[in-house]
Amino acid sequence: MKNNFLQKFYYGDIPEEKGASGQYTTSHDTTQWPLWEVFIRSKNGLDHKHAGSLHAADAQMAIENARDVYTRRMEGVSIWVVESKYITASNPEEAGELYEPAMDKIYRHPTFYELPDEVNHM
Amino acid sequence: MPVQHLEQIFQQKIDNETKIEAKDWMPDAYRKTNLRQISQHAHSEVVGMLPEGNWISRAPSLKRKAILLAKIQDEAGHGLYLYSAAETLGQSRDEMINDLHSGKAKYSSIFNYPTLSWADIGAIGWLVDGAAIMNQVMLTRTSYGPYARAMVRICKEESFHQRQGFEILLVLSRGSAEQKSMCQDAINRWWWPSLMMFGPRDSESTNSDMSMKWKIKRKSNDELRQNFVDMIAEQIKVLGMKLPDDHLQWNESRNHYDFGNINWDEFWNVVKGNGPCNKQRLDARRKAHEEGRWVREAAIAYAEKKNSKLKREEAA
């Protein structure tokens, strides 16, 4: 149903049914290079931060590709790569239960404590 | 949870400017629209390398050649960022590339025009990348998180592209009579196709507009196109060249430039596959893909061999 609304074509959004570029079929590659997540440390003293992902046959190639793609303008001094399949992510649907216990413990925040103005450096 | 309820929560997030992330629930049409748009965007970056690649070996100096190579390398990177963003929506890159090569998936029609002179490389950087930037700056605020992040990275790199393009034309515009006419000729040929890049007029559709409601897009085609015309109409004065439009005129009451009619027959014709270079572009992509197959397979075979050797050593 909803698809009926999406008939307005924006820049970079070209209707698929309007195409006729000839017949071409190719066999898929038998194996795809696995997907890797890339983490970059932008300078010493900072954490590695997720930069994006890429495909590579092995870890060494993943590092080399990450250098080519994510550090062309001196964005990094250190790269981590990890195969995406090894990352376990929390489920956003369980976010309520997962983070709820932190909500009612406001005494964990320094602003919970009211101190006289004379107290400095605290 | 009933779907209506999920849709409500989803729309609430969008209204509150909370980004949608890959694992969040989203309506099927939202996923599909993003997937189509992001993959088309990725294909455009990749096919966009072809018209420029035409001039690598013929760039007028080593400096220009190095710059052009760096720019084209950026485009490949942009394609990769975008394929990665699209992959988070559940389609493999292999499938997307296959859809491009079979003609099922589209890319921006602008890349179906030929690059006939060196000045075209300047015009592409200034006009084509300039038009793309208008759209991409808007898309840094798109509601799908991975797409928005890819756009931020791309926009950072893209401004070099536009500046180098303008500089190419600037040098030509200050050169010999022949260089000046080359410059004007490239502008004449790229101007109208650049305006077509923004897509059909807003009035072409009366349908309620989910792309706006979902904040995938935040500006309409006509708005973006007008912003582009206003920008270029001023910049061209610096070049001392002319845009090929007799109707181009500052309109005091609108506070915008008026401009002439776009040839929409040409636009749809190129979209349908009948542009000057559609066949050539797809053939080049397919050829590269087929001829690279052995490299992809060899790399996998090498990785497997290394892995099994490692495992044997660990076992021993």
In a domain? residue A120: no
| CB atoms closer than 10 angstroms to residue B245 | 19
Closest CA of chain A from B63, distance in Å:
18
In a domain? residue A77: yes
Q: How many residues does chain A have?
A: 122
The whole-number average pLDDT for the span A9-14 is 60
pLDDT at residue A3, rounded to an integer: 44
The whole-number average pLDDT for the span A13-33 is 63
Closest CA of chain A from B24, distance in Å:
6
Contacts of B107 in chain A (CB under 8 A): 14
The whole-number average pLDDT for the span A7-18 is 58
Q: How confident is the model at residue B316 (pLDDT cuts 50, 70, 90)?
A: confident
pLDDT at B38 over 90: yes
Ramachandran category for residue B273: left, alpha or beta (phi over 0 → left; psi -120 to 50 → alpha): left
CA B210-B212-B218 angle, to 5 degrees, is 160
In a domain? residue A25: no
Complete edge-to-edge strand list for the sheet that includes strand A35-41? A48-55, A35-41, A78-83
Selected for mutation to probe chain A from B92, B96, B102 (highest A CB count within 10 Å) is B102
pLDDT at B176 over 50: yes
Q: How confident is the model at residue A6 (pLDDT cuts 50, 70, 90)?
A: very low
> pLDDT tens-digit profile of B229-279?
999 999 999 999 999 999 999 999 999 999 999 999 999 999 888 999 999
Residue from B285, B103, B247, B213 nearest A16 by CA: B103
Q: How confident is the model at residue A2 (pLDDT cuts 50, 70, 90)?
A: very low
pLDDT at residue B3, rounded to an integer: 83
In a domain? residue A8: no
Domain that holds residue A43: 31-112
> pLDDT tens-digit profile of A70-89?
999 999 999 999 999 999 99
Chain B residue closest in CA terms to A14: B106
pLDDT at A4 over 80: no
Beta bridge partners of A83: A36
Separation in Å, CA B198 to CA A51, A80, B16: 29, 39, 28
pLDDT at A9 over 70: no
User: Of A11, A31, A91, which has the smallest distance from its Cβ to B197's Cβ?
Assistant: A11
Closest CA of chain B from A115, distance in Å:
36
pLDDT at residue A26, rounded to an integer: 62
Q: How confident is the model at residue A5 (pLDDT cuts 50, 70, 90)?
A: very low
In a domain? residue A93: yes
> pLDDT tens-digit profile of B224-235?
999 999 999 999
Closest CA of chain B from A102, distance in Å:
21
| CB atoms closer than 10 angstroms to residue A54 | 25
Chain B residue closest in CA terms to A75: B153
pLDDT at residue A1, rounded to an integer: 40
What percent of chain A has a predicted confidence (pLDDT) above 90?
52
> Is residue B33 a contact partner of residue A6, using CB atoms and an 8 Å limit?
yes
pLDDT at residue B49, rounded to an integer: 97
Return the minimum-mean-pLDDT range out of A102-106, B36-40, B183-187: A102-106
> pLDDT tens-digit profile of B293-307?
999 999 999 999 998
Contacts of B103 in chain A (CB under 8 A): 19-24
In a domain? residue A94: yes
pLDDT at residue B159, rounded to an integer: 86
> pLDDT tens-digit profile of B53-92?
999 999 999 999 999 999 999 999 999 999 999 999 999 9
Count up the domains in chain A and report the number. 1
pLDDT at residue A50, rounded to an integer: 96
Contacts of A3 in chain B (CB under 8 A): 29, 32
Q: ipTM of this predicted complex?
A: 0.88
Contacts of A84 in chain B (CB under 8 A): none
- The residue ranking higher by pLDDT, B167 or A19, is B167
Average pLDDT along chain A:
83
pLDDT at B28 over 80: yes
Average pLDDT along chain B:
94
CATH number of A58's domain: 3.10.20.520
In a domain? residue A122: no
